[in-house]
Each structure stands twice: as structure tokens, then as C-alpha cells.
A and B are shown apart, each in its own frame.
Chain A
């Protein structure tokens, strides 16, 4: 319903059948307690979402959890629930529910207005993002 914000679920669908056995694909709405519960006990968690950093639309970003943890807490909670991924990280740390390893793959979005599908550059980035997710798990020690 928020165009480019739908890239996470789109990538999840694209990669669903290409992951090793034992990997769960979960679509979440960004509410931190759900994120934290989903992470609990995982060896590796790959979060896929849309971001806005000023890069060209469709750019694929990759951060690992350690670098995200070093970021200062945001002064403007940006999600519709007043809490976001960084709060989920902090909450997960406080409640011992972080995965052993966390990777965030994010696709640069531009259009977050009402609409039921992402814009062109973001749609074009979905196959590469799905491949990147699959590669994270292919590289992971079994």
C-alpha cells in the first residue's frame, strides 16, 4: 500500500524457494517486538527493507548488525509504530534475543506514497536483492 515500502515482501517472495532447508521466510510489519521474537534463537537473520538515504532509487545497501549497533538511537522514531529497526536491535540486545549474526539488505526507495506496487527502479532491483539474500545463506556455515 506504500509503493516502494513493499520491496521487502517482494524480495521475500522472490527468494522463498531458493533458500536452504531450515531457513524461515517471515514477512513482518516492522513492529519491534515481532522482529525481536522472530530473531530469537537464529544463527543468521537477514532483514530486507526499503530505505531512504539519498542514493539513486534501486541501489542495494548492505550493513551487518555490528555496524548498525554502533549507530546512535534515532531522535525521530520513523515507523508508524514510533519504533523501528534500531529500537528492535536495542530491545533484542536488552532481552537477549539477537541472532548470532544479523545482516540488513536494504533497497533504496523513492516513492512511499499510496499505491500497491513499487516503482520501476525498485522493481528492477528485486532479482539482485533476492540473489544477495540467497548468497548470505549460501555463504553461511551450516
Chain B
């Protein structure tokens, strides 16, 4: 998977996710600077088919078929938030750019433009990716979910509700990306611990510094009623002390 953010949370003793060959490319490796070394090492053999496609001047689609695209715009279909939509874009257009500039979905933000901050996080087949690092044409054949597809202001996803209730946002610019990271983590790891949650958003930068409330909201969404587990919880090793939710007004 291109710049799969879930790989950033790979830790020793926890198997890295195994991307499928059809979705890999050298570009993904070069651009996906955040990918953990462990994941990279496990993928070496899988690179070849798509890499060959790129060397041939084309792009391998989800069936592994090599196509030539560009340099002009071409029209293709994306599976976006449960619907099929048409996009007409040059091959260089990123998924983020297509979402924002063509499809009018402006929830995902361009902030660092190099997969370093997580503000453009969307789900590809349920997995969090930085959409500034994915070409729009490469998202064909995948289920794309954006923040708009997760929930709306009237019908919020439980992660979104928990973010509002715990004020896990300030200026809000990083918020769609952080919500998508947490939602993906809780989907695949419903009993996520504070430590799991911290690692799932390790690639999301919030300049307002709102992380403590993010942790609290995520734990609430994960089903920890009554706030975060105690600092002394045996789940939390000394190396990964939790950000205990802060107290309110005296």
C-alpha cells in the first residue's frame, strides 16, 4: 500500500502489515519516507511487478495490468465513500488534489505535501494512507473513504462524537486526518490501548498541541468508559507512560 500510515506504527514484536504486490511501486517506497524499516525489509520481493510497470512508462492497475497514462488528462472511475465517481486528471495529480480540487471534498488537508504530518489521511480499503502521497490514478479499484464518508455533522461516527465531546481539536486543521487515523486503528483493533492509540497517530502533527484530548477521545471511542486507564495500569510500560487526561478547573 502506498505510504500506508499503519506501517508507521509497526513496532518490534508486532507483525507489519503485508501490502499486496499489485499496490506496490518504487515510487511508493521512495516517497513513503515514513514507512518503517521492518515493513520495507519484508517487501523487497514484492516490489517487482509494479516496478516493472513503471519502468515501462506505465502504471499497474489493481489487476496488475500495465497501462500507459499521460502526459495529458485521462478519465477514470474511483470508488469514493461508497459511490462511483468520475475523475479527469493528469497522471501527476494526487488523490488529495483530485478529492479537493475536482470532487469538492475539502476535509482532507494539504499541509506538509510529503507524508510527514497526516493531515490528508484517508482510508484506502480501510487502511489509513496519506493522500498527498498517492496518485489519483493509483486509487482506482480501491475503496476510498474520506472524512466526509465517515460521518456528517448530523450523524457523526463515534470517533467524531468523542472528539467533539472531549474537545480533541482546536483550530481543527489536522482534525480530519487524526480522526481518520484513529478510526482506522479502532476498526482493526477495537480494544486499542492508550499505547496503541498513541502509535496510531504518531504520524499526525497538531501544531495547536491538542494530543492529550485526542488520546482521551480515542479511548472513549474505544469503549473505555469513565476516561483513560490509570497511569499505573499494568498495560502501560514505563517506556510509554500515558498522557493522563488533565483535570478541569479547580
Q: Do A and B come from one complex?
A: no
Question: Which A residues have a C-beta under 8 Å from some C-beta of B?
Answer: none
